[in-house]
Amino acid sequence: MKTKIFCNFCAGPLEIEFLEGKERQVCKNCSQVYYENPLPAVSVILSNERREILLVRRAREPSKDMWCFPVGFAESGERVEDAALRELKEEAGVDGRIVQMIDICSDRTDVYGDLLIATFEAEKVGGTEAAGDDAWDFGYFPVTNLPRLAFDSQEQALRKFVELKKDVWKMSDSFQKLVEESISGEPAVADGLLSDDLINVMEQAASQIVDLWISDISTNPSTKGYHKIDQEDLAARGLYIIEQLGSWLKGGKSEGEVEQFYIELGRQRRRERIAVEEVTSSMSILKKHIFRYTSGAGVWHRPVDMYRVLELGERLIFFFDRAAYYTLMGFGKGEREKKDKGE
């Protein structure tokens, strides 16, 4: 790195003096003190919908031929955000919009001396990718399989970027699988959704949930037909339903098995002379207690935690809607069987 020899103001010679706790250059003639400040640099992380990062290949030293984020220096009178977008355009041909700051750090190079580097996340709003300015190639690389970056500061910023995006990507992946589940009519397999953790909580706390359910339906005016049923029998029924729910959500039971079970359940409740509206109310109350217990099993600070709870609610609705439909089918079949027998 080049150092000053003469004063910018009077052309006098510079000498080293110990001032304010460190050695500094001072003009011998006019006493001007030269404070050495780090150069402001900017770099940009831009990813596409496939979670690939835009990199450019450097055409100049330092680190010629290595890959890096679009990077360069901020100029006087230029906002650092504008400098980042300018470098993105000059080096990669992309018009961008700043999303957020990812990192700011200090570095030192043999060529430029001390640097202060601000790294931003940007999104593409226009332009066409093309290598330009200090770059001779460009490419999108999977965030989990990037080439070694030219600068340690960018490796650090990348780690922070991945950490910031981790929960967003988890929610996105889980939501996509939930949509696929709703379209196909089949539950996502185990470990496929974020709310699987809460399904495990439900299975582990099945006895407590069933106790809450029994206490509710045994006194609730919307389930009078259940007031006379033995509570041990109710407990066995509730535990079996929760076991079946967990198994179905994890792919352990087919749609046909669920259909068969609830059609038979409807027939049985019809024979027990429990009103159909009371049966559907009892199922709704069980769904309520499953959701309340599992959603209260943790402290929700992050958006991903809140998403996990909302996703569980959607999955419970999905299952119990089917269960109610098949139960009503069973009631209908039981009614027809009764008529056929002339009862």
Return the pLDDT at 290.
96
Short-list 277, 272, 294, CA closest to 202: 294
Q: Which residue ranges form the domains of the chain, and what is each CATH number? A: 1-36 (2.20.70), 39-166 (3.90.79.10), 185-340 (1.10.490.70)
- φ, ψ at 217 (rounded to 5°): -70, -20
179, two tokens: 């949509």
- Mean pLDDT for 105-118 is 89
Mean pLDDT of 277-287: 94
- Listing DSSP states for 139-175 in one string gives EEEETTSPPPBS-HHHHHHHHHHHHHHHHHHHHHHHH
Confidence of residue 335 (pLDDT cuts 50, 70, 90): low
2, pLDDT greater than 80: no
- The predicted-structure confidence for 59-90, as pLDDT tens digits, reads as follows 998 899 999 999 999 999 999 999 999 999 99
The CB-side HSE value for 16 (13 A sphere, CA atoms) comes to 4
Q: Which amino acid is at 167?
A: D
pLDDT in tens, 202-231: 999 999 999 999 999 999 999 998 888 888
At residue 338, the pLDDT reads 55
Between the alpha carbon of residue 153 and those of residues 98, 118, 168, 282, the distances in Å are 19, 9, 24, 59
pLDDT surpassing 50 at residue 190: no
**Cβ-proximal residues to 129 (8 Å cutoff; 6+ apart), any chain:** 54, 92, 93, 94, 138
- CA triplet 297, 303, 306: central angle to 5 degrees? 35
Whole-number Å distance between alpha carbons of 132 and 26: 41
Mean pLDDT taken over the chain: 89
Q: pLDDT per residue over 289-320, tens digit each? A: 999 999 887 667 788 999 999 999 999 998 99
- The pLDDT value given to residue 339: 53
Is 343 a residue whose pLDDT tops 90?
Answer: no
CB atoms within 10 A of CB 184: 9
pLDDT tens by residue, 136-188: 999 999 999 999 999 999 999 999 999 999 999 999 999 888 887 777 666 55
Q: Which amino acid is at 62?
A: P
| 63 φ/ψ sector (left φ>0, alpha ψ -120 to 50, else beta) | left
pLDDT at position 99, please?
97
Highest mean pLDDT of the ranges 96-100, 178-182, 325-329: 96-100
Q: Where are the alpha helices (DSSP H) in the chain?
A: 80-92, 152-184, 196-204, 206-217, 231-249, 255-271, 276-295, 303-340
The DSSP code sequence of 32-52 is -EE---PEEEEEEEEB-TTSE
127: which DSSP letter?
E
Question: Higher-confidence residue: 299 or 278?
Answer: 278
pLDDT band at 282, cuts 50/70/90? Answer: very high
Q: Residue 220: exposed, middle, or buried by beta-carbon count in 10 A (0-12, 13-18, 19+)?
A: middle
Residue 334's pLDDT band (cuts 50, 70, 90): low
Exposed (0-12), middle (13-18) or buried (19+): which is 216, by Cβ within 10 Å?
middle
List, for residues 238-276, the tens digit of each pLDDT value: 999 999 899 888 877 778 888 898 999 888 888 888 898
What's the pLDDT tens digit per position in 15-43?
999 998 889 999 999 999 998 889 999 99
